[in-house]
Amino acid sequence: MLRGFLVIFLLCTIAIIAVFGFRGQKSTGSPLEIFPDMVRQMKVRAQAPLNFFADGRGSRLPVGGTVPIGYEMPKPETTTSLAAAVGPYTHPRAGFSAGTDYYNTGKMGDHWGTGIPVAVTRELMERGQQRFNITCAMCHGAAAEGNGITKQYGLATVVSLQDERIRKMSDGEIFNTITNGKNTMMAYGPNVIIADRWAIIAYLRALQRNQNAAIADVPEEHRPELEKK
């Protein structure tokens, strides 16, 4: 009994001295690396010199024409009527630049604003249709009824944009949903330039209207054609 205690006491003493006893002593030897993981790598360090390149610098200049996120998109060389009408390229604040005004945030003061802050033309709608079909339709469906292809693959939470709630939602809030996402919908701000977001909203409004149209929306002279069908 006593011997057992003595052995344990001795082992504890050795362990305590091993852990705490020699602290503070510096060693000039390299530390023991049991698992070096990826501590030392052959890589270029930012801002550090490197002999590999002729100019002796490790850092490289960005490729010509690189546009940093948050800056203006380059203007196309030919200004087509589409670009002129749509405005993404001609608008002085095109691209991803983030101001604090309605055009950039969808907010008027502390509240969501409403209205399309660019001229709504046929070109804008066509642009919106194209962008909607590329960016939104696979989830929300071509008619925005929440029945895109992803539904069949398990994305069950996609909402119908034909819902009363979304039809009544302000343009600014929809702009914000596109920009920053919502719950399970990811943000499309980094993919869709601001002018295109507004084009999408304009087109979405048209979709909402054509799925909820009343006979009164049809000009009188065209109503007989509808009745025939």
Residues at the interface with ligand HEC (CB under 6 A) = 135-136, 138-140, 150, 155, 157-159, 161, 166, 174, 177-178, 182-185, 188, 192, 200, 204
145: closest CA among 167, 125, 128, 115?
167
| Closer by beta carbon to ligand HEC, 73 or else 169 | 169
| Closer by beta carbon to ligand HEC, 61 or else 156 | 156
| Closer by beta carbon to ligand HEC, 174 or else 193 | 174
In whole angstroms, the minimum distance from the beta carbon of 129 to ligand HEC comes to 12
174: closest CA among 138, 210, 213, 128?
128
In whole angstroms, the minimum distance from the beta carbon of 67 to ligand HEC comes to 21
Buried b (16+ CB within 10 A) or exposed e, 20-55: eeeeeeeeeeeeeeeeeeeeeeeeeeeeeeeeeeee
Directed axis angle between helix 194-211 and helix 171-180, to 10°?
120
In whole angstroms, the minimum distance from the beta carbon of 80 to ligand HEC comes to 23
In whole angstroms, the minimum distance from the beta carbon of 201 to ligand HEC comes to 7
Asked if 170 contacts 112 with a C-beta cutoff of 8 angstroms, the reply is yes
| Closer by beta carbon to ligand HEC, 120 or else 138 | 138
- C-alpha–C-alpha distance, residues 91 and 23, integer Å: 66
In whole angstroms, the minimum distance from the beta carbon of 152 to ligand HEC comes to 13
| Closer by beta carbon to ligand HEC, 195 or else 204 | 204
